[in-house]
Amino acid sequence: MPRRRIGFWYRFAAVLCKPWLVVLIKRDWRGMEHIPAEGGFITAVNHNSHVDPFAYAHFQYNSGRVPRFLAKSGLFKEGFVGAAMRGTGQIPVYRESTDALSAFRAAIDAVERGECVAFYPEGTLTRDPDGWPMTAKTGAARVALQTRCPVIPVAQWGANELLPPYAKKPDLLPRKTHHVLAGPPVDLDRFYGHEMTPELLKEATEVIMAAVTGLLEEIRGEKAPETPYDPRRERIEQRRRTQAEAASQTAAGSGAETDGAQIDGAESGRARTGRAKTSHEGESGK
């Protein structure tokens, strides 16, 4: 299937954004030969900065295969941004609504039309303290197994040095380098032809994320943690710590009250003893 034309809106967005990206960040891009020249496919990309969708889109735009990102539905509603999101063919994600599955269907349709759909499988900026990929959601694996399209793992690093996760101001100097490394398609053959159970999707997702993490290890020259950061597990642990601290504080407060009561009781007893002794001495004087 031939590739889809880039179109006016994507070219217009490139005219607006590329000069800024060229000025702000240097580029170390590798693996572009793994981006399919024809047909639909998925890229699975790690996410560590609010800037990296633009930086990564620059990489893939230069490959000739523009990505269709999944993005929050609110960005599509009004104004220039909404027009640009619609015009460039991005895919709205309606979270916690009856339209939540529409993004999944739209992604499948886009792949079947011969387009590229770029997934951030983590679903949000990584919360790993060292910037490694977290555990991921299963959307990319679900689309891949449904369409049997190539899944290209992509790791990126450097945009997070320009604008760290959740930071409000960029760190412009010295000029940062945006590293991108795309790898060969992930081998998912063993998952085809089976019922897409939660367990199967989870395993396929782990295979995809292992490929992405391995590429990031190559970029960074470091070894990733053996167990990816899991936000859900961290929330559970945080609740447990909070409950334990609250219980400890309650126990400490109860202990203080008991100690106070014992002190008050002892002081009261000494006072009664003192009064009795004074009374006895007074009677003896008479």
pLDDT at 269 over 90: no
Span 73-93, average pLDDT: 87
pLDDT at 49 over 60: yes
DSSP result, 193-236: TS---HHHHHHHHHHHHHHHHHHHHHHHTSPPPSS-B-HHHHHH
Span 126-149, average pLDDT: 96
Residue-level pLDDT at 18: 94
Which residues neighbour 31 within 8 Å (Cβ) at sequence distance 6 or greater? 154, 180, 181, 182, 183, 215
Residue 209 burial (10 A CB sphere; 0-12, 13-18, 19+)? buried
Q: Name the least confident of 63-67, 84-88, 150-154.
A: 84-88
Q: Chain-wide mean pLDDT for the chain?
A: 88
Span 34-57, average pLDDT: 96
pLDDT at 240 over 50: yes
Half-sphere exposure of 245 (CA within 13 A, CB side): 6
Rg (CA), the chain: 30
Q: Name the least confident of 19-28, 104-113, 180-189, 253-262.
A: 253-262
| CA dihedral sign, ordered 151, 157, 162, 166 | positive
Q: How confident is the model at residue 29 (pLDDT cuts 50, 70, 90)?
A: very high
Q: How confident is the model at residue 72 (pLDDT cuts 50, 70, 90)?
A: confident
Q: How far apart are alpha carbons 274 and 265 in whole angstroms?
A: 14
pLDDT at 283 over 60: no
pLDDT at 8 over 60: yes
Residue-level pLDDT at 268: 55
Q: How confident is the model at residue 280 (pLDDT cuts 50, 70, 90)?
A: very low
- Entry pTM: 0.82
Comparing 100 with 64, the larger pLDDT belongs to 64
Comparing 256 with 28, the larger pLDDT belongs to 28
Residue-level pLDDT at 279: 47
Q: How far apart are alpha carbons 195 and 34 in whole angstroms?
A: 29
Residue-level pLDDT at 265: 56
Q: How confident is the model at residue 245 (pLDDT cuts 50, 70, 90)?
A: confident
pLDDT at 164 over 60: yes
Give the H or E element holding residue 112. Answer: helix 102-112
| pLDDT tens-digit readout, 181-237 | 999 999 999 999 999 999 999 999 999 999 999 999 999 999 999 999 999 888 898
> With contact defined as beta carbons under 8 Å apart, do 228 and 137 qualify?
no
pLDDT at 251 over 60: yes
Which residues neighbour 168 within 8 Å (Cβ) at sequence distance 6 or greater? none
Q: In which residue are the tokens 């167990």 written?
A: 227
Q: How far apart are alpha carbons 135 and 229 in whole angstroms?
A: 6
